[in-house]
């Protein structure tokens, strides 16, 4: 047995975003989720701080924002990954049917796909035969559909990861507004939020291999704008004495 089928298998897998690619995607989603938690919760608590000095009100608003945001993120992720998984399973089922009904056409198809990856016709045929003999469905899933049938994303895993990422981000402004004395809470929150956004902006730029400077600036500016707007709204509402 040659190594060829294994190598082709691995490169197909990588090309379709498995392995390193999917780890990077997860990491990127985690950084974005945390960033979301920081910005939305900071906007919320800074807005409430514009209206009232009550620590109970700040804690209630921050905690409610944390839970609402993290559950909304988790639910959204669950729905989207479930849908993706449904379509992957449907594609696998169709592949299985085709393999049963017309194995010759499927072998020719796999041969063509492998040849398109740069193998000579003879080697492609040989590789396709070996892959088909070993596990035809798996070979078609990887080479043709770009999915690993043993490693489909589990919807509630993705949901839990989103929930966790948002919660970690949201905890920062929540603690920053609740823990310091009343006179310092606003500035402690603003400074720590902008520092956190500098970090998440830098990190997501690094993951996307983009220049960090502009990414950081955009991220920090977005967070600063969110806090300025909600603080302005909170102050106006607080001044009316409602
Ligand atoms: Zn096929």
Which percentage of the chain shows pLDDT scores above 90?
79
- The CA 80 to ligand 1 mean position distance, Å, reads 25
- The CA 23 to ligand 1 mean position distance, Å, reads 27
Identify the residue with better confidence: 231 or 24. 231
- The CA 110 to ligand 1 mean position distance, Å, reads 7
Is-contact 177 193, C-beta < 8 A? Answer: no
What pLDDT was estimated at residue 208?
Answer: 87
What pLDDT was estimated at residue 150?
Answer: 85
Confidence band (pLDDT; 50, 70, 90) for 14?
very low
pLDDT surpasses 70 at 10 = no
- The CA 134 to ligand 1 mean position distance, Å, reads 15
- The CA 109 to ligand 1 mean position distance, Å, reads 6
Give mean pLDDT, residues 112-139. Answer: 95
* Domain ranges for the chain: 4-86+149-240
Distance CA 139, CA 176 (A): 52
Give mean pLDDT, residues 70-93. Answer: 94
- The CA 127 to ligand 1 mean position distance, Å, reads 15
- pTM here? 0.78
- The CA 153 to ligand 1 mean position distance, Å, reads 21
pLDDT surpasses 60 at 130 = yes
- The CA 85 to ligand 1 mean position distance, Å, reads 18
Q: Which of 8-12, 27-31, 205-209 is least confident?
A: 8-12
- The CA 118 to ligand 1 mean position distance, Å, reads 18
- The CA 97 to ligand 1 mean position distance, Å, reads 9
Confidence band (pLDDT; 50, 70, 90) for 19?
low
pLDDT surpasses 60 at 39 = yes
């Amino acid at each position: 047995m040659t190594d060829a089928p294994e190598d082709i298998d691995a490169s197909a897998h990588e090309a379709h975003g498995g392995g390193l690619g999917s780890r990077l995607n997860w990491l990127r989603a985690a950084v974005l989720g945390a960033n979301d938690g920081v910005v939305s919760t900071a906007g919320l608590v800074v807005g409430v701080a514009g209206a009232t000095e009550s620590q109970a009100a700040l804690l209630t608003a921050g905690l409610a924002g944390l839970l609402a945001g993290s559950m909304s993120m988790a639910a959204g992720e669950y729905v989207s990954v479930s849908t993706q998984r449904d379509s992957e399973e449907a594609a696998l089922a169709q592949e299985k049917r085709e393999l049963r009904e017309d194995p010759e056409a499927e072998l020719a198809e796999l041969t063509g796909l492998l040849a398109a990856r740069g193998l000579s016709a003879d080697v492609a045929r040989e590789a396709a035969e070996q892959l088909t003999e070993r596990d035809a469905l798996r070979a078609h899933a990887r080479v043709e559909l770009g999915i690993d049938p043993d490693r489909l994303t589990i919807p509630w895993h993705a949901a839990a990861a989103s929930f966790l990422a948002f919660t970690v981000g949201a905890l920062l402004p929540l603690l920053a507004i609740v823990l310091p004395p009343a006179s310092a809470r606003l500035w402690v929150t603003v400074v720590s939020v902008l520092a956190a956004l500098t970090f998440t902006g830098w990190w997501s730029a690094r993951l996307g291999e983009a220049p960090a400077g502009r990414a950081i600036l955009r991220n920090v500016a977005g967070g600063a704008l969110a806090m300025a707007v909600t603080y302005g709204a909170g102050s106006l509402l607080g001044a009316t004495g409602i």
